[in-house]
Amino acid sequence: MTQAETDSPKPLPRRLPIVPVLLALLLLGFALFGDRGILRALQAGRQKAALQEEVRQLEAANDELRQEIESLRNDRRYLEAIARKELGMVKDDELVYQFRSVQKAPRTSGPARSPGEKEAAPPPGQ
């Protein structure tokens, strides 16, 4: 080997310049995690779907309330049924029967007896 062959510069390994790589990583980070990033867009899409479902439920409830208002204004049978159910109203020519509720006596802890069987006397001394 000659002196000229040993003094020649060795080829440097090819490395990516650090500035463009950092810039690309920075842009990727903003694209994923920024205010207008992909993750924020996915979250906004889920929130939109939840709000649309809530709007649908509220519209259905409004429709039911509109139907009830219409029935209260125009349907005398419906109005009478509400008055009977919620206010306990009756017509003048109707009879009302009221029944008392029967309360059961509390059971004592002891041997079971048949209805006709008498209770045994307590032992002497008690």
Residue-number span of the structural domain to which 47 is assigned: 17-87
Residue 100 lies in a domain: no
* Residue 113 falls inside a structural domain: no
56-88: b (≥16 Cβ within 10 Å) or e: eeeeeeeeeeeeeeeeeeeeeeeeeeeeeeeee
pTM > 0.75: yes or no = no
Given the structure tokens 């045994």, which residue do they identify?
Answer: 120
Task: Say yes or no to pLDDT of 6 above 70.
Answer: no
Does residue 116 carry a pLDDT above 80? no
Q: Hey, CA dihedral for 42, 43, 47, 53, is it positive or negative?
A: positive
| Mean pLDDT for all residues in the chain | 81
101 assigned to some structural domain: no
71 and 78 Cβ atoms separated by less than 8 Å: yes
Number of independent structural domains in the chain:
1
**Mean pLDDT, range 79-93, rounded to an integer:** 89
